[in-house]
Chain A
Amino acid sequence: MSQKWWQQQLPKLVLSPSFALVLFFVYGFILYTGYLSFTDSRMFPSNELVGFANYEKLFALRHWKIAITNLGIFGGLYIGICLVLGLMLAIFLDQKIRGEGVLRPIYLYPMALSFIVTGTAWKWFLDPGIGVEQIVQSWGYTDFEFRWIKDRTMAIYCIVIAGVWQTSGFVMAMFLAGLRGIDGEIMKAARVDGASSVQLYRRIIIPMLRPIFLSAFVVLAHMAIKSYDLVIALTNGGPGRATELPATFMYSYTFTRNQMGVGATSAMVMLMTIAAIIVPYLYSELKGSKKS
């Protein structure tokens, strides 16, 4: 074969091992897990096909309903609060603040910590025995009660607090970068047009940040659906099953309850949920980059 032919094939050849790895370890595995979700696998994979029985079983499980409901509460609040807080802090920091260089890293550093460390810190800080409740009581407010983390209905909000603490600074950084990218002449034009600061943000700047809202939403949704370590470290799914999420559900059904078929099914449902958000996003991003 000629030298030229080689030069043309070389790039593909170089790319192919990692592409093969990803094809096998990602897409092959997805197919395999998809296959398992149609079998009656328990402790070990089985080849006995059972149709949609696992899916029916999954959606009938109270445990799964709790996990889905919790994901709704957690995901909704986590994404919503992170977006609002991140945007607010970014706008505030963008007001020529003295000491911005100190504040910005303070808001952002939790992103460098793992969810396990985050969970450990908040677990004890929210613990009624030694944490917030005890501290406020020691200030003299002896009636003060704060035991969400031990409360079946409130514990999920503790996960939200810790999650927001860890990620909101990052969302702030995204919005701040967006604000800094806005052409200064647009702000001048709005001032000449007579827009007040509130109008300037509401009518012009926030609409211009739409792509950032989208990116932040995608990242946050993806983190919410995947989140496993935060729950494990903070509440381990408890009290009872009060903070169970799909991610912890999948793990416990697959590895400790020997219900691999159901576990695989829950993983497939998670994948499809994320894909429904990510695929259109990636598609539009890639198409966008083609145009420019």
Chain B
Amino acid sequence: MSFLQLQNISKIYESQPVLESINISIEKGEFLVLVGPSGCGKSTLLNMIAGLEDVTQGAIHIDEKDVTHVAPSERDIAMVFQSYALYPSMSVRENITFGLEMRGVPRDERNQQCDQVAEILQIGHLLDRKPSALSGGQRQRVAMGRALVRNPLVFLFDEPLSNLDAKLRVDMRTEIKLLHQRLKTTVVYVTHDQIEAMTLATRIAVMNGGVIQQLGRPEEIYYHPQNLFVASFMGSPSMNLIEIEAADVNGQICFEIETSNGDTHAVALDGYQCTGGKYVIGVRPEDLTDIETSDQRQTNTLRFSSPVDVVEPAGSDTFVVIQVCGQSVTCRVRGDSKIQEGGEAEFLLNLDRIHLFDQHSGERLKRVVS
């Protein structure tokens, strides 16, 4: 049995289903990120793992123990909250050691453990302050300290970085990653930020509408999105989704790419089990580049030229918007690219990296490698 196992979890709240048959199992030391838009049920799921919300159906096991109906304080978990939830009337030290005190740990030991954690998090000089006298980043550290000091089986994080400004958020993200590498404790982490999910996770569960859309390693999620939701949610800028019509041309299923200068290029859908009809093609911006940027090892490419609508420099990369089949499509080229707005440029589409989705079900179509 896995270290943390969620079996067929459902949650019905006021006769509305919030979560539907969630199955997740992760090994000890993994970093699981639950990601999805707000209202997808990820925080509810986290609260259920914590024991703060009842499970309508299903079972939760932590370390081979069924904790489905066990009180939060008995589950050996620790949690970092979005608002940090520091006790305003207690000093930082009291905040960190309160959980130990409730478990009857003697004072000396509490203080010793608190000092250790304070050293890891570099908050030793703050221990006598009240939370109101701390900055956002410091509060964040104290909230993590409160969780760390308990040395729990599982850490739960509920959008811990969403109240920080952009710069601090990136720094803290790195720190959380370092901390996890060092402590190797199992983590379940909720966020709506797909970059946080990609950078931190060993496993990602993409959620939407109370259902897990895909569960997998970050690269699986990124390179093999199971459906249109995952494809569009993960990645920034998000994947280009182009509606196309495929047709049978001499026994081969093909679709046409039309650029705004009127050129058309036929592309064969090799190895897909599909017939003619409507599909959605997914192309990540980095798989649609210009000649300069493209990876020379790629062989299966389509080369075409197109008028350029918009050029958006973003420092290391430049994003170029062109029209394909009447839809705006973003291409990623080098930051020092010379492409001009209003001009025309040559582009390369990496045909090995296009994703094909069924227009009705939104499901990915498998490619049978020939």
Asked whether B73 lies within 8 Å of A192 as measured between CB atoms, the reply is yes
Judged by a CB distance under 8 angstroms, whether A210 is at the interface is yes
Judged by a CB distance under 8 angstroms, whether A191 is at the interface is yes
Total B residues in contact with A, Cβ cutoff 8 Å:
26
Judged by a CB distance under 8 angstroms, whether A77 is at the interface is no
Find the residue from B74, B98, B103 having the highest chain A CB count within 10 A: B98
B89 cross-chain contacts in A, Cβ below 8 A: 204, 207-208, 210
Report the separation of the CA atoms of residues A185 and B86 in the bound assembly, to the nearest whole angstrom: 9
Asked whether A199 lies within 8 Å of B102 as measured between CB atoms, the reply is yes
Judged by a CB distance under 8 angstroms, whether A143 is at the interface is no
B79 cross-chain contacts in A, Cβ below 8 A: 188-189, 192
Judged by a CB distance under 8 angstroms, whether B229 is at the interface is no
Asked whether B85 lies within 8 Å of A183 as measured between CB atoms, the reply is yes
Report the separation of the CA atoms of residues A278 and B254 in the bound assembly, to the nearest whole angstrom: 84
Known A-B contacts A188-B52, A210-B89; the reply to A194 vs B73 at CB < 8 A is: yes
Judged by a CB distance under 8 angstroms, whether B87 is at the interface is yes
Asked whether B99 lies within 8 Å of A194 as measured between CB atoms, the reply is yes
Report the separation of the CA atoms of residues A186 and B98 in the bound assembly, to the nearest whole angstrom: 12
Of B71, B83, B90, B103, which is within 8 A of A185 by CB? B83
Asked whether A192 lies within 8 Å of B99 as measured between CB atoms, the reply is yes
Asked whether A193 lies within 8 Å of B73 as measured between CB atoms, the reply is yes
Task: Map CB proximity to A onto B64-88 as digits: 1 under 8 Å, 0 otherwise.
Answer: 0000000111100111011111111
B50 cross-chain contacts in A, Cβ below 8 A: 188, 192
Report the separation of the CA atoms of residues A24 and B88 in the bound assembly, to the nearest whole angstrom: 44
Asked whether A189 lies within 8 Å of B85 as measured between CB atoms, the reply is yes
| Residue in chain A with minimal CB distance to B150 | A193
Report the separation of the CA atoms of residues A186 and B81 in the bound assembly, to the nearest whole angstrom: 9
| Residue in chain B with minimal CB distance to A193 | B99
Report the separation of the CA atoms of residues A203 and B98 in the bound assembly, to the nearest whole angstrom: 10
Report the separation of the CA atoms of residues A194 and B51 in the bound assembly, to the nearest whole angstrom: 12
Task: Map CB proximity to B onto A192-223 as digits: 1 under 8 Å, 0 otherwise.
Answer: 11111001000110011010000000000000
A192 cross-chain contacts in B, Cβ below 8 A: 50, 52, 72-73, 77-79, 99
Asked whether B52 lies within 8 Å of A204 as measured between CB atoms, the reply is no
B102 cross-chain contacts in A, Cβ below 8 A: 193-196, 199
A203 cross-chain contacts in B, Cβ below 8 A: 87, 90, 98
Asked whether B98 lies within 8 Å of A188 as measured between CB atoms, the reply is no
Report the separation of the CA atoms of residues A210 and B50 in the bound assembly, to the nearest whole angstrom: 30
Find the residue from B77, B86, B88 having the highest chain A CB count within 10 A: B88
Find the residue from A191, A192, A207, A208 having the highest chain B CB count within 10 A: A192
CB distance from B81 to the nearest CB of A (A): 4
Asked whether A191 lies within 8 Å of B87 as measured between CB atoms, the reply is no
B90 cross-chain contacts in A, Cβ below 8 A: 203-204, 207
| Residue in chain A with minimal CB distance to B99 | A193
Find the residue from A190, A194, A195 having the highest chain B CB count within 10 A: A194
B72 cross-chain contacts in A, Cβ below 8 A: 188, 191-192, 194
B86 cross-chain contacts in A, Cβ below 8 A: 186
Asked whether A186 lies within 8 Å of B73 as measured between CB atoms, the reply is no
| Residue in chain B with minimal CB distance to A182 | B88
CB distance from A220 to the nearest CB of B (A): 23
CB distance from A181 to the nearest CB of B (A): 12
Asked whether B83 lies within 8 Å of A191 as measured between CB atoms, the reply is no
CB distance from A33 to the nearest CB of B (A): 42
Asked whether A194 lies within 8 Å of B103 as measured between CB atoms, the reply is yes
Asked whether B85 lies within 8 Å of A188 as measured between CB atoms, the reply is yes
Report the separation of the CA atoms of residues A196 and B73 in the bound assembly, to the nearest whole angstrom: 9
Known: A183-B85, A185-B81, A185-B83. 19 other contacts (CB 8 A): A183-B83, A185-B84, A188-B52, A188-B85, A189-B81, A189-B85, A192-B52, A192-B79, A192-B99, A193-B98, A193-B102, A194-B72, A194-B103, A195-B73, A196-B102, A203-B87, A203-B90, A204-B90, A210-B89
Top 7 A-B pairs ranked by shortest CB distance? A194-B73, A207-B89, A193-B99, A185-B85, A194-B102, A189-B85, A185-B81
B interface residues, Cβ below 8 angstroms from A:
47, 50-52, 71-74, 77-79, 81-90, 98-99, 102-103, 146
- Residue pairs across A and B with Cβ atoms less than 8 A apart, 16 shown, are A185-B82, A185-B85, A186-B86, A188-B50, A188-B81, A189-B146, A191-B71, A191-B72, A191-B73, A192-B77, A193-B73, A193-B102, A195-B73, A196-B102, A203-B87, A203-B90
